[in-house]
Amino acid sequence: MLPDGSDEVATLLPPSSEVGTHPGDGAAIAEMPCGIPVAGGPLPPGARPSPKIARLVAGVDEAGRGPLAGPLAVAAVILNPRRRIRGLDDSKKLTEARREALYAQIVERALAWHVVLVEVEEIDRINIYQATMAGMCRAVAGLQVAAHEAWVDGNQLPKALPCPGRAIVGGDALEPAISAASIIAKVTRDRLMHALDGHHPGYGFANHKGYSTPEHLAALRQLGPCPLHRRSFAPVKLLHDQGTLF
């Protein structure tokens, strides 16, 4: 929490913790301090849905399911078959520079994309699995071009998707739309964790993005958990139960 009682992640995010670009009527693109677009402008003519595109498929993926700290990012992307993007792959297999370059292309060329941040409080309240399922539903529902079908990375399909869906194991490396969602989610989350590092110095969030690296675990033992840490995750839970902080 910030001194005025507000949530520090929320201060970097628009209301509802959702960001995205969609077909618009001339709105300018605004950015948060961490460089994430929060308002979409009109898509270029070549990016608008064509009546010849019979079926619109949204790829869906998340970033940040395993870290000890920070929100979960979930993205949905509908690619434009007329504006192909070369080099799409599982975001974890790409360098940071390559992810950033592809992120820019996806934002420019996709028919629609939407990314949702599920915050730590909700993760701790309903568990990371349920938070992931909820985030996937919100990401697809937030697309302003309605998808006919959603292809989700993994072996579990959210029950409340607003359209029919398919779960595809390893989909982030197999299906370009899921790869694009993987990249949007990871770049969004990485940028946010880098920005939040300044609010919580000493943990190294800009480096490890909240994952349980030796650097992070050492800082956690020395400093104790901060508000960004997921209290339902070990070893954060262990420190919480021991009453070392909070």
Q: Give the model's pLDDT for residue 53.
A: 57
Is residue 234 domain-resident?
no
Is residue 173 domain-resident?
yes
Name the pTM for this structure: 0.81
Q: Which domain holds residue 33?
A: 8-197
Is residue 110 domain-resident?
yes
Q: Give the contacts of 25 (CB within 8 A, at least 6 positions apart).
A: 42
Q: Digits of tens for pLDDT over the chain (246 positions)?
A: 443 444 555 445 433 345 543 333 222 233 444 444 432 223 444 444 445 556 899 999 999 999 999 999 999 999 999 999 999 999 999 999 999 999 999 999 999 999 999 999 999 999 999 999 999 999 999 999 999 999 999 999 999 999 999 999 999 999 999 999 999 999 999 999 999 999 999 999 999 999 999 999 999 999 999 999 999 998 898 877 776 444
Is residue 17 domain-resident?
yes
Is residue 107 domain-resident?
yes
Cα dist from 201 to 119, 196, 205, 226, 240, whole Å: 20, 9, 8, 10, 20
Three-class SS of 146-205: CCCEEEEECCCCCCCCCCCEEEECCHHHHCHHHHHHHHHHHHHHHHHHHHHHCCCCCCCH
Q: Give the model's pLDDT for residue 235.
A: 85
Torsion 111-40-131-213 (CA) sign: positive
Is residue 224 domain-resident?
no
Encoded tokens for 76: 């949905």
Number of domains composing the chain: 1
Is residue 71 domain-resident?
yes
Is residue 23 domain-resident?
yes
Q: Give the model's pLDDT for residue 52.
A: 56
Looking up residue 138, the CATH number of its domain turns out to be 3.30.420.10
First to last CA, the chain: 12
Rounded CA-CA distance 231/238 in Å is 9
Q: Give the contacts of 131 (CB within 8 A, at least 6 positions apart).
A: 72, 118, 122, 123
